[in-house]
Amino acid sequence: MKLTWLGHSCFAVESGGCRIVLDPYTVESYPPLHVAANEVLCSHHHRDHDFVEAVTLAPRGDSPFTVRMVETFHDDQGGALRGTNTVHLLAAEGLRVVHLGDLGHELSEAQIAPLRGCDALLLPVGGYYTIDAQTAKRIADALAPRVIVPMHYRHGSHGYDVIATVEDFLRLYPASAVQRLDGNSFELTADAPRGVVVPKFAD
């Protein structure tokens, strides 16, 4: 299974010739997003996560993916500030990928149960609009994924000024557990080493 970070919280997940794009965005500090996919999934209806106009849809055909959704909130006040947030669990090739969207709170045991032990966890870490680095670490510990991929953080000139960089989150892990990639894609396998994978944004 191939995972590609397209910036912000947007990922393409590919298997068997099918591509799903999650949380396509329009954000002023990022170049315009243009991507093709067979399906698009959005965690919530804010334009930095549901800009579906950026996605050119191809026929869906026979998708190898099954998709499960877990309902959560965009804040720690039951959605009173920013509404709801949908977590997506994608499964194919015997692998499971969890995209937490703009999660804004600690997860309950009922929410954790279907996500625990996933192969890849796509995890917001920047704080302010989402969980912060410390909360993200606690959630990652509870879910015990094989691979953690941070998202929704500020890097260089990209991202919102009020959110943190990825470094606050990475400091919570030993350096030996962090792999910084030279590109924005990687292959997820069942025997991938455990740790944090940090793709490089492709301008």
Note the pTM of the prediction, 2 decimals: 0.95
- Mean pLDDT calculated for residue range 15-23: 96
User: For the chain, what percent of residues have pLDDT higher than 90?
Assistant: 84
Q: What is the DSSP string of 53-80?
A: GGEEEPP--S---EEEEEEEESSSSTTT
Residue 115 lies inside a defined structural domain of this protein: yes
Pairing of strands 84-92, 35-37: unpaired
Question: Which of 76, 79, 82 has its CA nearest to residue 48?
Answer: 82
pLDDT tens digits, 81-108: 887 999 999 999 999 999 999 999 999 9
Count of domains forming the chain: 1
Closest CA to 186 of 115, 114, 120: 120
Domain assignment of residue 35, given as a range: 2-198
Contacts of 91 (CB under 8 A, 6+ apart): 65, 66, 67, 68, 97
For the chain, how far is it from start to end, CA to CA, in angstroms? Answer: 23
Q: Provide mean pLDDT across the span 23-38.
A: 94
Query: pLDDT band at residue 62, thresholds of 50, 70 and 90?
Result: confident
d(CA 123, CA 111) in angstroms, rounded, equals: 15
- Average pLDDT of the residues of the chain: 94
Does residue 203 form part of some domain? no
Over range 30-47, report the average pLDDT.
93
Q: How far is CA 69 from CA 100, 156, 197, in A?
A: 10, 32, 24
- Is 149 part of a structural domain of the chain? yes
Q: Is residue 172 part of a domain?
A: yes
State pLDDT tens for residues 135-166: 999 999 999 999 999 999 999 899 999 999 99
Q: Select the more confidently predicted residue: 75 or 8.
A: 8
pLDDT higher than 80, residue 34 = yes
User: Is residue 166, in this structure, part of any structural domain at all?
Assistant: yes
Mean pLDDT of 44-68: 90
CATH number at residue 129: 3.60.15.10
Question: Does the residue 176 lie in any domain?
Answer: yes
Res 122: pLDDT? 98
